[in-house]
Amino acid sequence: MRALVCRELSEDFSRTRLEEVPTPVPGPGEVRVRIGAASLNFPDLLMLKGLYQHKPDLPFIPGMDFAGTVDALGEGVTGLSLGQRVAGGTRSGAFADYLTAPARSLEPVPAAMSLAQAASYPAAYSTAYVSLVCRARVEPGESVLVHGASGGVGMAAIDVGRILGARVLATTGSPQKREALLDYGAEAVFSAPGFRDGVRDLTGGEGAQVIYDPVGGDVFDESVRTIAFDGRLLVVGFAGGRIAEVRTNLPLIKAFSIMGVRAGEYGRKFPEKGRLVREAIWKWAADGLTRPAVFAELSLDRWEEAFALMRDRGLVGKVVLVP
């Protein structure tokens, strides 16, 4: 089969290329999935540089989120059938024609959802759900400010905030993306940095009660000055590059909480809670409540173009690789 293989870590992905590799065989309890779509996540780029928390042994096939059809069943697998549409998440291996995964980790794809949408779903929506439901415990009517809102995890947070009945505000570094985010459901969209005054004006001077930050750096610094009293500031990632620091007198004075979010690790540390998260987000999908945003579908041999779109912040939603 074809697969995107990283043989050596590099800043410019020059040691990653499309290769022919053996097609995997499912073991006991596993399923082989013929990949129909695999979405790109920011951690995929970080892993290829050796900058992510999870560091796979070399060589490895990147790719975390996928959707496709069941191609072969390992010993003891029940409840799934050949040709069935399924989706799931893995720590690596999805940028290929096939992969194997534990049967228990796969979810049926709802009839109304495309494979590209399903592949855009697991990491983004589990991150948004763990952030806003499990960690921040957002209540209807609360103000939620979503940074990096045009990316996959940002748009998922807008969607989840809307489902929870929150008042969703957003920021983006590109004024050209503003209309797309307003159409998607944000009440207002601000430039980042430079959002503090607009957020405070819209919230009656109070500030945002919950801030969802996958960007870090200057955006985090300004968020500390934008958070409401007794608010919750969610640290989701550092796409901006710089890991910010905060003086502890500021959380004391404003009585706000800083909460780290690692949705994947949350599920691994607490398997039962992770199962409940998966059940909740896929029930929303089956009920037609969620709207995973796919920006572009590119063939696997155009992976460099897909990586450039993410690296250069050229996305409004997810870019998906199609074998």
In CATH, the architecture of 2-121+292-322 is Alpha-Beta Complex (3.90)
At residue 314, the pLDDT reads 78
Rounded alpha-carbon distances, angstroms, from residue 179 to 174, 183, 190, 316: 11, 6, 11, 11
Return the CATH fold of 124-265: Rossmann fold (3.40.50)
Query: Is pLDDT at 66 greater than 90 in this prediction?
Result: yes
Residue 310 confidence (pLDDT) above 90? no
- Are 153 and 128 in contact, with CB atoms under 8 Å apart? yes
Range list of β-strands (E), the chain: 2-6, 16-20, 30-39, 65-73, 85-89, 98-102, 107-108, 143-146, 167-172, 188-191, 208-213, 227-235, 257-260, 294-299, 318-322
Q: Express each pLDDT in 6-24 by its tens digit.
A: 999 998 898 899 999 999 9
**Given 3-state DSSP classes, what are the helix, strand and coil percentages for the chain, each rounded to the nearest 5?**
35, 25, 40
pLDDT band at 51 (very low <50, low <70, confident <90, very high): confident
pLDDT tens profile 198-237: 999 999 999 999 999 999 999 999 999 999 999 999 999 8
First to last CA, the chain: 10
Segments making up each domain of the chain, as ranges: 2-121+292-322, 124-265
pLDDT of residue 167: 97
Enumerate residues 6+ apart whose C-beta is below 8 A from 249. Answer: none
The mean pLDDT value for 151-163 works out to: 95
Comparing 2-121+292-322 with 124-265, is the CATH topology the same?
no
CA nearest neighbour of 53 among 243, 301, 228, 291: 243
pLDDT at site 52: 84
Query: Does position 315 have pLDDT exceeding 90, yes or no?
Result: no
Judge if pTM exceeds 0.85. yes
